[in-house]
Amino acid sequence: MQLKFGSYYISPIELKDAWNICNLIVANEDRLKRYFPKTLEQNLTPDLSNIFVQKKVKQFNTKAEFLFTIKKNESNKLVGLVYIKALDWTKKQGEFAYCIDYNVEGKGIMTEAIQQLSEYAFENLGIETLQIIVHKSNIGSVKVADNCNFTYIKTLKNEHTPPGEAPLDMDLYELYKEIE
């Protein structure tokens, strides 16, 4: 499976992605430590990234969690990650979590990726509700939710605790599969 848009493509995590994930995470460490602390700590070295990727490939194959990579067409350079996580197969619900390289931030890449993966989740995974949980100060992520037609639902009190900080209230956005 590969979803193409513009100069980029989205594909499921692969074992060969470990080194590139380590590079992406380390290069963006300052940006990721607040909202992606677990992914960050699991990818600080190539060895850790190998373990991380093996786990994520297994989770993808067992439908426990889906991790996708966003890469540039010509160079295959990894520029972003998108999770579909917190899956509830009874409710047919999943949550997006995503990050993008600071070098390509603000170019609409993540908006396009979330649009493509929303369609993919609705059509191929049987998901009917997708969520994005974001802090209001994360303007880029709020824009992604808005640009992808997610609806603000409510503020979740003390939803996320960044390392060394007090718990933060996070905003919940949802997108629903259109009933034909």
Mean pLDDT for the stretch of residues 76-86? 97
Q: Model confidence at 179, in pLDDT bands (50, 70, 90)? A: confident
Inter-helix orientation angle 46-61/18-27, to 10°: 120
Segments making up each domain of the chain, as ranges: 3-176
The kind and range of the H/E element at 146 are helix 139-147
Cβ atoms < 10 Å from Cβ of 55: 15
Fill in the amino acid letter for 34.
R
Q: How much of the chain, in percent, has pLDDT values that exceed 90? A: 96
Q: Decide which of 3.30.70.20, 3.40.630.30, 3.40.1280.10, 3.30.1370.140 is the CATH code for 3-176.
A: 3.40.630.30
Tell me the pLDDT of the chain averaged across its residues: 96
Q: Model confidence at 52, in pLDDT bands (50, 70, 90)? A: very high
Name the burial class of residue 97, with classes exposed (0-12), middle (13-18) and buried (19+) by CB atoms within 10 angstroms of its CB: buried
CA 54 to CA 14: how far, in whole Å? 8
Contact status, residue 111 vs residue 125, Cβ threshold 8 Å: no
